[in-house]
Structure 1
Amino acid sequence: MHKQKLRTQIMAALPPERCNFALPFTITGVDFAGPFQIKASMLRSPTLMKGYVAVFVCFTTKAVHLELCTNLTTEAFLAAFARFVGRRGFPSKIMSDNGKTFIGAQRATEKQFVDFFKQVSPDIVQKYAPQGINWQFIPPSAPHMGGLWESAVKSFKSHLKKVAGNYKFNYEEFTTLLNRIEAVLNSRPLTVLSQDPSDFTALTPGHFLKEHPFWPHLSQAWSRYPY
């Protein structure tokens, strides 16, 4: 009687950008989330305008950086990228989507983001050429290669939905909320720091940015109940 041996799936090796030691945001993935409705004024019945969130994620530390853009223009993204560089430093490589990863109603929005990245990347590379910035697109129809920033977008939207619901924020309120969500995401646990079962301290992206989590109590709570 022959018995078939059990097979185990062999996971492919991670790309070098995920494994090599580097400073935070040296290799960065970027994606857009939105559009979101933002109040243009503080009137009782204010005009609503569209807003987009540029999500930057570090390939080495999984740290997240969020920037609000009022529209999908080259000038708006260059301003957001300049704010990102001013706070996180110059990346050596930027990676983004290059294909339709959604279906139905979201396909048009995703294609808009892809076309926008293709237009803005030459301007970024030319403006920051002395720093050696390289913009690289993932292959078309390969959304699994952008899983790192897709996961960051999902986590950001999850926190935004829980906090905001259907409430409409103005620009200052939305920017403040983005900074608080960014601090929460950079306090999430990555792995344990010791083998002591009574020590709930975890390694977080905040340790790589400022040598300790932004909100230590969240890090300890998530270590007990990871999600």
Structure 2
Amino acid sequence: MGGIWEAGVKSVKHHLRRILNDTTLDFEEMTTLLTQIEACLNSRPLTPLSSDPDDMQALTPGHFLIGGPLKALPDPDLTHLKMNRLSRWQYLQRLTQHFWKRWSTDYLSKLQQRPRWWSKKENVKIGDLVLIKDDRLPPSSWKLGRIMEVHPGKDNLVRVVNVRVLDKVDSSQSFSYKTYSRPISKLAILPFDSD
């Protein structure tokens, strides 16, 4: 019945109202802002592309639109600057960055829902593809990693994991990875159904 995409539209309207407040934009500015917001929404990871531990890619709505993930060049952070110092273009970038911060936090919190104590949840497993919460990322950028090692506590619940992330790709197309130790509260596991 369209409940999933209607919930997405509701979320966009909610955050758009918050960032615009009493701002008046002309047609071109509103179109530009909505196009940048659309890129943010279509860049979100939905599920891992494969169960291969070396594959750090996730399926996004952009794969259905253009055949690959949407990527944007990072812009300087303008959220801390006063509005009277910004040009109109910079002001639109600032609005996009505010939308990104609000919406991505909301999206990650929905992925991380863990009702404590009421129901038993499955522990994270080695090989799970996760989103790493990082407030410093520019709009339409997501930091993905694979869980390489889990550290269960005395109660056998995993609270800390070692995550391998793609560090960089050099000109010869060889990949280098880094491994970080992260609490599971800073991770959102992407759903994957292997059946």
TM-score range, shorter chain: 0.3 to 0.5
Greater fraction helix: 1
Q: TM (normalized to structure 2)? A: 0.34
Larger radius of gyration: 1
